[in-house]
Structure 1
Amino acid sequence: MRFHDYDRVAIVTGSDSGIGEATAIALATAGFDVGVTFRSDSAGAEEVAGKVRELGRRCEVRRLDLSRLPGAADVIDDLAGALGGLGVLVNCAGTGISTPVVDTDYEQWREVLAVDLDGPFLCAQRAARRMLAAGRGGRIINITSVHEHAPRVGAGAYCAAKGGLGLLTKVMAQELAASGITVNAVAPGEIATPMTGNEDVDPFTVSRPGVPVGRPGDANEVAAVVAMLAGPDAAYVTGASWVVDGGMLLMGPQAGSHLQSDDWRNG
């Protein structure tokens, strides 16, 4: 069995704006019905749903608060039931803080780990169980970050969560491959989204001398990679982390020799 007949239904968590919104639209364009989730921006989620429906695809919207676990993961089953199946899960919902480790209190730590690691684990587990029961394969795609691979001052909790999600991705890829379910990570660098505070700025007009491409990324550039991995032609790609960062991670030694001040120590 080639496992190319998985359900043309995708759930994208955190898809009320930013990378999640762009991914929902990209998958709808590729022929998927889409489950959209939001934490607080219901108006944004409904706007995204409208765009999906304009493309001729069905869309269901649900609130998903990944700080309320494990019950919040019920939304995956709810959306899959409403849309009549589940072929693709994109774990995009996330949060972060900018606080040195010595100043991070336990409640802050737990919230970031819950939203960025515990939540994706539970959502992926629910999705995998459904895909296994259906027996037609599927796709699980975890949106991590360049900080799955490299640290950043002031982002201890975020880096710990994203690093953990990166390794969880690889383990699930091993466990699910024989059932035609691929599991991959997509690791964005700086992308012009609400989370980075520059969603209203054209990234092509912003200078980033420390990034080889020279600018931040556009959410659609991340969504295009997700859509590729979600398609049937990506059946032999699993357990990989697809970095979408304009070359940022290539700059470690170069930054070490060319930084002119100690400003980086302050995050």
Structure 2
Amino acid sequence: MDLPSDTPAASRTPRPARVAVVTGSDSGIGRATAVRLASQGMDIGITWHTDEEGAHRTAEEVRAHGRRAALARTDLSRLPDAAGVVEDLARELGRIDVLVNNAGTGTATPFVDMEYETVREVIDVDLIGPFLCGQVAARRMIRQGDGGCIVNVTSVHEHQPRVGAAPYCAAKGGLGLLTQVMALELAEHGIRVNAVAPGEIATPMTGQEDEDVRRTSRPGVPLGRPGDAREVAAVIAFLASEESSYVTGASWAVDGGMLRMGPQAGSHLESDAWRRP
């Protein structure tokens, strides 16, 4: 949705192609998001940590839509330097209009057994990394002077806890509140900031990549199945578009209704299995 302009069409300077940087876009939600944004006319900065081949596959799909792709390896546990990848990609592609903080990691270890190194890595990758990447992107957007959009990929565990995922839940909850602060502070610069909170999505992280989600039963989810990465990407793409030009500071759950179950889910459990990760 374009807002009215008093500038005659013939005298307007054509705006360059929009550029999005999507962290962790070598697979899963990141890849689906990069491809979806490319299909909407954006050039894409792709980051990867261990799967270089996957990053190149993402780039091929982006280029198949006629868009440019730039790739860079980064390890968000190596901070603060790793956050510089956002500026590197923006420089290579000429600008940055959208940052999608998607890269993440998790745990399945009881709280009392958690090692410090694991806690530190999860917090760095899932919270401090997006914080610093967001700073880099916002500073560049402010210099550009024409606004922008940041989408932080959190989780349903931004809102609800999970046994065995203490640092993950702490990081995602923190990222949710960070999103709200960023939205308040960056609004005066025309930069919108929102979160997307996926539930169980068929990705490498859940061991379900390329699975037909409609053939997988999830009785505890109202829609009865896991989600597809492209369903998350569609919401991210909406938040990155002018169609959501009056939306900032919000968290969008993409979870098949999982969060709405609340205490009802607990009251129907028939064993203590939930106590073990």
The TM tier, using the shorter chain, reads over 0.9
Structure 1 counterpart of 2:22, one-letter code: V
1:81 aligned residue = 91
1:252 aligned residue = 262
**What residue ranges of structure 2 are gaps of 5+ in the alignment?**
6-14
Structure 2 counterpart of 1:217, one-letter code: G
Question: Out of 127, 131, 134, which is 2:137 matched to?
Answer: 127
1:52 aligned residue = 62
Q: Percent identity between the aligned chains?
A: 66
CA contact (8 A) 2:21 2:96 kept: yes
Structure 1 counterpart of 2:43, one-letter code: D
Moved more, 241-250 or 252-261: 252-261
1:8 aligned residue = 18
> 1:131-170: CA deviations, max 9, x gaps?
0111100000000000000000000010000000000000
Q: CA RMSD in A?
A: 1.6
1:26 equivalenced with 2:43 (yes/no) = no
2:275 aligned residue = 265
> 1:173-230: CA deviations, max 9, x gaps?
0001121100000000000000011113211110000000000000000000000000
Secondary structure of 1:211's aligned partner? coil
1:140 aligned residue = 150
User: Between Structure 1 and Structure 2, whose CA radius of gyration is higher?
Assistant: 2
How many residues are paired up? 267
**What residue ranges of structure 1 are gaps of 5+ in the alignment?**
none
- Cα distance in 1 for partners of 2:195, 2:262 equals 21
Structure 2 counterpart of 1:243, one-letter code: A
Aligned structure 1 segments of 4 or more residues deviating by more than 2 angstroms:
2-7
Moved more, 60-69 or 252-261: 252-261
Structure 2 counterpart of 1:261, one-letter code: S
1:180 equivalenced with 2:208 (yes/no) = no
- Cα distance in 2 for partners of 1:242, 1:191 equals 15
- Cα distance in 1 for partners of 2:242, 2:179 equals 19
1:234 aligned residue = 244
Q: Output the TM-score relative to the length of structure 1.
A: 0.97
2:9 aligned residue = none
